[in-house]
Structure 1
Amino acid sequence: MVWDPVALPYMSESLRSSPLPTTEEIRACTNILFELWYKIVAINDQIVVKYYPCNRTYEGQVLLFLERHVPNIPVPRIYSMYRDPETRETLLIMQRIPGESLETVWPSLTESEKDGIVGKLRETFENLHAVPCSKPDYYGGLDAGYLRHEFFLHNEDPDGPSGLGPFYGEESFVAGMTDSYRARMTKNGQPTHKALFYETYLPRVIKGHRPTLTHCNLKKQHIMVVEKKEQRNEKGERSLDVVLLNWGFAGWYPEFFEFLSAAELFFLVAWEDD
């Protein structure tokens, strides 16, 4: 299935339990949770705001798609999404998830608690990957647009990044990967022998994978762990739920791509924990 994006400005009536912050209140907020190429501020215990310095509504659209079509996937709810006409920034007003990131809590977990979290993540991704794609040979964004993973991004403009895709057929998808790699090597003045290697062999290796709904940015810091208060087993171990954050790369990719996108981090840093 392909998502027909909602029009902006977007406001959810069903999810509001209290007044939403104004743009002025958001900009005055000093409780900054993250700031790099986008910024996240915590307005209170219930609301966070994520804003991009460009026209980036895609993550909000993905969250709305999941809320409406795959409600068994644990994600933050989005309350409002709009673009500031003065700064051109895109603002996503979302549910604040209580708890801590898996990266923070993992060392303190018991083996049983770790097994419980892994089991819930497995169930979550099995449900995500089981969502049927309405086009059997489609690889692209949920909005029928380009793929957002960094392998396919190729340009920045005032309205945000653009990339390659969508692709029709796995052979076309693989060609997009190799073309993007060659273009990156050429742009950076690097030798292209690896690009030639990939162009020669990847089409022979990557075959027979169906389009699969993919988070595409799985890291421990993107998994929130939420403790169910006053629910412990006979050993005193906590009952923990998980919520997935950062859906800006999501889309329809070949079914191996969830593992590939998660594992690429280990090519750069040591895998030092369990």
Structure 2
Amino acid sequence: MKESFSIPFYAADLPCPLPTNSEIENAPDISLEYGGRRVVGVGQHFVVKFGQGVDLAEGENMLFVRENTNICVPRVFALYSDTKTGKSFIIMERIIGETLLAAWPRLTQTEKQNILSDLRIQFNEMRQLPSPNYFGSFGKRKLLDGIFWTEEPDPLVNGPFDSEESLNEAMLRKYSYNGGPHYRVEYLRKCLPLIFKGHKATFTHGDLQRKNIIIREKLQQDDERTRVVLIDWEKSGWYPVYWEYCMAVCALRWDDDWPIWIDTLLMPFVSEAAWLQSLRLELWS
């Protein structure tokens, strides 16, 4: 498998010339600005995520998945940074459709089953990517989920990690970093190895929510691609195999039947989900 891509990256085959930075800055927002990031639509062909909070590793994740699987992700047309502004740019294919979150209330049970079946095929294929000898982002770099974030670089918290034990310890270090009680940390240090053990590193999307799933508009009759497209690969990387399910559970709002379908899409890790959700609530309470 390819372990890195040359940055800046520019695709050879473009539907039209790439937008300029000025065109991007003045384009209409698709989603709210957050964490030093904006997502805008530029014309009919491009969506751009850009800002000082953008990590180009997200674009590399998408290139990696497209190159090694049949999972449907937007094409990446360019990855680069502007040294003058400190902003990074991910220019990608604009998928015409609506999110599964928007479509969900009007879907029939049969339509939900068909969509979940397509998603299950894609996530099962993701699970089959060969496991490396580390837990970290693509290219053996730090993990990008917020639970491993520190203001200043700290490899003992950020990763990558050579073992699940080191990853567990990183979560405890982050707990201390956030000011968590010392005795709580010592208690968790006894508990976590009993729950988070024996899990292989598995390539993970990391943010399975309906807002990150686009149902494309009706395909042409000869188009064999799936209608379901996965977006927002910002947190993706090699995590323990339980991580995908646990993050999906942590994001549940419990206001409709979506939680019932999660167990039909992903292998359940119920104990791990309960512990990780509790830990995340404590970290961000």
TM tier relative to shorter chain: 0.7 to 0.9
Tell me: CA distance 1:2–1:18, structure 2 relative to 1, closer, same or farther (3 Å). Answer: closer
Select 2:150's aligned residue among 150, 154, 177. 154
Specify which structure has the bigger relative contact order, considering alpha-carbon pairs within 8 angstroms and separated by 6 or more residues.
1
Q: Which residue of 2 aligns with 1:113?
A: 111
Instruction: Give the count of matched residue pairs.
Output: 251
Report deviation, 1:28.
2.3
Q: Which residue of 2 aligns with 1:28?
A: 26
Q: Which runs of 4+ in 1 moved over 2 A?
A: 190-197, 227-231, 269-274
Letter matched to residue 139 of structure 2: D
Query: Is 2:65 aligned against 1:66?
Result: yes
Q: Which residue of 2 aligns with 1:143?
A: 139
Q: Which residue of 2 aligns with 1:236?
A: none
Post-superposition Cα deviations, 1:216-248, rounded to whole Å, max 9, x if no partner, equal: 1111101111132477xxxxxxx9721111101
Letter matched to residue 61 of structure 2: V
Q: Quick check: which one's helix share is greater? A: 2
Report deviation, 1:272.
3.1
Residues 74-93 of structure 1 correspond to what in structure 2 (within 5 A)?
74-93=72-91
| Structure 1 counterpart SS, 2:198 | coil
- On the 8 A contact 1:155/1:163 being kept in 2, the answer is no
Tell me: CA distance 1:240–1:130, structure 2 relative to 1, closer, same or farther (3 Å). Answer: closer
Tell me: CA distance 1:52–1:249, structure 2 relative to 1, closer, same or farther (3 Å). Answer: same
Select 1:191's aligned residue among 163, 167, 181. 181
| Structure 2 counterpart SS, 1:68 | helix
Q: Distance in 2 between matches of 1:58 and 1:7?
A: 10
| Structure 1 counterpart SS, 2:150 | strand
Report deviation, 1:50.
0.9
Q: Which residue of 1 aligns with 2:233?
A: 247
Report deviation, 1:156.
5.9
TM-score, scaled to structure 2: 0.82
Q: Which residue of 1 aligns with 2:210?
A: 220
Q: Which residue of 2 aligns with 1:7?
A: 7
Report deviation, 1:271.
4.3
Q: Distance in 1 between matches of 2:157 and 2:38?
A: 22
| Structure 2 counterpart SS, 1:144 | coil
Q: Distance in 2 between matches of 1:2 and 1:12?
A: 16
Query: Is 2:181 aligned against 1:181?
Result: no
TM-score, scaled to structure 1: 0.85
| Structure 1 counterpart SS, 2:50 | strand
Letter matched to residue 44 of structure 2: D
Q: Quick check: which one's strand share is greater? A: 1
- On the 8 A contact 1:147/1:163 being kept in 2, the answer is no
Report deviation, 1:97.
0.7
Kindly report the root-mean-square deviation, in angstroms, between the aligned alpha carbons of the 2 structures. Answer: 2.2
| Identical residues among aligned pairs (%) | 32
Report deviation, 1:142.
0.6
Select 1:133's aligned residue among 131, 134, 144. 131
